[in-house]
Amino acid sequence: DGGITQSPKYLFRKEGQNVTLSCEQNLNHDAMYWYRQDPGQGLRLIYYSQIVNDFQKGDIAEGYSVSREKKESFPLTVTSAQKNPTAFYLCASSFGTGPTYEQYFGPGTRLTVT
Amino acid sequence: GENVEQHPSTLSVQEGDSAVIKCTYSDSASNYFPWYKQELGKGPQLIIDIRSNVGEKKDQRIAVTLNKTAKHFSLHITETQPEDSAVYFCAASMPGANSKLTFGKGITLSVRP
């Protein structure tokens, strides 16, 4: 059963701690993305990766870091430098970047930092 | 950069009625306009999209229209059903392999039984 897996569904952390969100896909997609969703807001792009070992900053990359060591995996680390980390985080993937390719989204991880 | 506006933020319709959701975009170079549906607790899912070389596209009960002159595009849902209740996002993208989607803020559609 192909798809995108994000774990865990809910994550709680204390302020000042780094936390890593998992994203795995078995769709054989080259491109992967991380978005942040806040109440009443659209999806804002944090980072994206077009191929393994390469990634680019999106619109709101400050306070976040990523790695792309494997095609299937694109973990996102929310660092203590992120001023307002509580949000719903969505991972997506596609065969390529650009408007030719549909983005498929995972179920999301809701992060709460107190 | 591109800016996508989506109004209103909520819409309530009676089951069986039609629903129309409108988005405007700022950059006339944008040429791809997808619509995503997000059900509660889930990730968004593409439901229909349109490219700038066509004015309308239909898929069963849903359709999307594009007005390039006015820079707006709309999602039309006919014969609404309770399962259509969700958050709907519009987005826009410019041409090019490195272009990215710019999303609107989303509209919550409620279909009253």
Q: pLDDT tens digit string along A55-107? A: 999 999 999 999 999 999 999 999 999 999 999 999 999 998 888 889 999 99
Does B34 reach chain A within 8 Å, measured CB to CB?
A: yes
Q: Rounded mean pLDDT of A19-34?
A: 96
Which is more confident, B99 or B70?
A: B70
Does A43 reach chain B within 8 Å, measured CB to CB?
A: yes
Q: What percent of chain B has pLDDT over 70?
A: 100
What distance in Å separates the CA atoms of residue A45 and residue A52, rounded to the nearest whole number? Answer: 19
| Amino acid at site A82 | Q
Question: Confidence class of residue A2 from pLDDT cuts 50, 70 and 90?
Answer: low
Our measurement of the distance from residue B5's CA atom to the centroid of its chain's CA atoms, rounded to an integer in Å, reads 11
Size of interface A-B (CB pairs under 8 A): 63
What distance in Å separates the CA atoms of residue A100 and residue A36, rounded to the nearest whole number? Answer: 23
Does B103 reach chain A within 8 Å, measured CB to CB?
A: yes
What distance in Å separates the CA atoms of residue B63 and residue A95, rounded to the nearest whole number? Answer: 25
Residue A8 has pLDDT above 60, yes or no: yes
The pLDDT assigned to A68 comes to 98
What distance in Å separates the CA atoms of residue B90 and residue B105, rounded to the nearest whole number? Answer: 8
What distance in Å separates the CA atoms of residue B62 and residue A70, rounded to the nearest whole number? Answer: 38
- Contact status, residue A77 vs residue A64, Cβ threshold 8 Å: yes
- Contact status, residue B109 vs residue B40, Cβ threshold 8 Å: no
Residue in B32, B44, B103 closest to A99 by CB: B32
Within 10 angstroms of residue A8's Cβ, the number of other Cβ atoms is 11
Radius of gyration of chain A (CA): 13
Q: Rounded mean pLDDT of B13-39?
A: 96
What is chain A's mean pLDDT, rounded? Answer: 94
Residue A1 has pLDDT above 80, yes or no: no
